[in-house]
Structure 1
Amino acid sequence: MRTVMHTADEPTSASEQFQQMASGSGFIAALDQSGGSTPRALRAYGVESWADESEMFDLVHAMRTRILTSPSFGGHGPELGGPGPSEGGRVIGAILFDRTMESEIAGLGAAEYLWQVKKVVPFLKVDQGLQDESDGTRLMKPMPRLDDMLSRAQDHQVFGTKMRSLVTLAHKDAIGAVVDQQLSVALHILDRGLVPIVEPEVDIHSPEKAQAEDLLRDALVVALDGLRPEQQVMLKLTLPEEDGLWTPLVEHPRVLRVAALSGGYSRAEAVAKLACNPGVIASFSRALTEGLRVDQSDEEFDMALDESIEAIYHASLT
């Protein structure tokens, strides 16, 4: 296991984090697998079995720790484009699962480690999963713990949040309901002083993917037009069928940044599609960790992660 060096505690600078997310060169790593998606992530990593849920989360935390402490993983320093404390400089943000945020990496809280050591802006996944499908969409489940999560996130120097809904068919009213729910929760998060990532994912296997994406773009523009000038959100969207479809959202004054999820595409597919969408950066999960294996040496692991990060980084520069 590699030795990890870290700096002394540093005060969080919200303005530095905001500037990095607004205009920093790089992408957002999605490391927020929860209970439902963790088994798949572990099996892709080469871990096939565990005794119980507690051991499963310990194993995935070890995988995430290996990623975050790798010299291939890092962000910019306080001055955009300047060298960070790691050898990376291509990852500007990372999304964490609640349990990860409450865990330690190299003697620091995971979110504190991201910002203080790697200069990677931390986000927290706050949704509690999806409701059953209705009219080709899945709304978010109620979030009774949201205020508690937001308070703990601020205690851990977290900059923003992420919450996911799902669209499978091109039903205008249902897609409108997804956007309304997302923006309603986003406004509450903004009022609490955090920046929300709104993620209304369109299923890449949808038979009506292109039509659903058109409806989603239009609904988002209307909702964003209703925000006050000082209110900005981030968006995390599916890589679209039509190149440049999200450009009106990239250019919208109420949008801080638009990111794309890999959504089940291979890394090669996701990178190719991302490069065709100017102004959109990556926020990949499975595509980021593709090729990483538990039985790799640290050198092999770092090289595989570096290859992944480099490909995603360059596609995010378009």
Structure 2
Amino acid sequence: MNKSQFDRMKNGKGFIAALDQSGGSTPKALAAYGVMEDAYSNEDEMFDQVHKMRTRIITSPVFSSMSILGVILFEQTMDSKVEGKYTADYLADHNIVPFLKVDKGLAEKKNGVQLMKPNPDLDETLRRANERNIFGTKMRSVIHEPNEEGIKEVVDQQFEIGKKIIAADLVPIIEPEVDIHSGDKEKCEEILKAEILKHLNELSEDENVMLKLTIPTKANAYKDLVEHPRVVRVVALSGGYSRAEANEKLKENDGMIASFSRALAEELRFSQSAEEFNIALKSAIDSIYDASVNKK
């Protein structure tokens, strides 16, 4: 593990940019950017288009370590290059910490939750992540209902895989997302917090994780998680909120920083000139940085 990157993630000011749209979410992300499905004819061309979009973001002069602590990458992005360097190396050279999305998507809903699909290639993915100088990983589950059995399954699975990631000398981002449209979101969050704390308290001193969580209904509901000695950082997903709404909610939660994807890119368009693109991106970065650093 890179000690300076660990210290930066633990103590640095800023937020994480989530540029890890996968096969299922990429067409929607491209369409929002203004690249429609008739612009590509197969998956390879689709990923080429989204890599161009990500490259435009990453290489923008306003996208810097002054505000950006880390970036979450998709596997194809990890294997692609930015200005002649593998993406993670390009980011590290600019003092930005690279992460990799490692899950294979969501299983069908059961017991009010969606677990992660099986991931038989995880060991090979982690090996390649180390070769590509990745610092940490991210994996997502979703909680829809306050079902104690289902939420326990989600957290058990996340930490079971998280320990494999730690053993590979990487820092896992545990992401049990609570659906913002859940009929009892706050109850889901209470159960989730209790289950996460059980696992955190069982970790040894050399086992550290990050948490990526939906912004809680009750401000500072995750304060115990933010302050836990085994937690490097607690980051927030935007979860379908607009950027303005996500920022306002995030400001109410001490110690949480953003890890936004769609909310970061919501005003970026393929048709924008370089100047227009950079102005829109700077506005997004400045507002998300402010919500991550300056609390109410």
| 2:68 aligns with one of 61, 75, 91 | 91
Q: Which residue of 1 aligns with 2:32?
A: 44
Distance between the aligned counterparts of 2:267 and 2:30, measured in 1?
A: 12
Unaligned runs of 5+ in 2: none
Give the corresponding residue for 2:6: 18
Aligned-partner Cα distance in 2 for 1:224–1:173: 19
Tell me what 1:176 maps to: 152
Alignment-derived partner of residue 84 in structure 1: none
The aligned counterpart of 1:148 is 124
**1:206 partner amino acid:** S
For residues 220 and 154 of structure 1, what CA distance do their matches in structure 2 show? 27
Letter in 2 for 1:70: S
C-alpha separation between the residues in 2 aligned to 1:229 and 1:194?
Answer: 15
Classify the secondary structure of the residue corresponding to 2:157: helix
Aligned counterparts of 1:99 and 1:144: Cα–Cα separation in 2: 18
Residues 1:68 and 2:28 are matched in the alignment = no
Q: Deviations over 1:167-222 (max 9, x none)?
A: 00000111011000000000111011000000000001111111101110111011
Q: Do residues 103 (structure 1) and 91 (structure 2) align?
A: no
Corresponding residue SS for 1:198: strand
Large movers: runs of 4+ above 6 Å: none
Q: Which amino acid aligns with 2:22?
A: S
Is residue 180 of structure 2 the alignment partner of residue 204 of structure 1? Answer: yes
Q: How does 1:1-318 map to 2 (within 5 A)?
A: 14-49=2-37, 50-75=40-65, 89-116=66-93, 118-317=94-293, 318=295
The CA RMSD measured in Å over matched residues stands at 0.8
Alpha-carbon distance, 1:231 to partner: 1.0
Matches of 2:180 and 2:3, distance apart in 1: 35
Cα deviation 1:8-61 (Å, max 9, x = unaligned): xxxxx8111001000000000000000000011001001112222121111101
The amino acid of 1:37's aligned partner reads S
Partner amino acid, structure 2, of 1:103: S
**Residue of structure 2 in register with 1:85 after alignment:** none
Question: What is the percent sequence identity of the aligned residues?
Answer: 53
Q: How many residues align?
A: 292
TM-score, normalised to structure 1, is 0.91
How many Å separate the matches in 2 of 1:240 and 1:46?
Answer: 32
Q: Which blocks of at least 5 consecutive residues in structure 1 are unaligned?
A: 1-12, 76-88
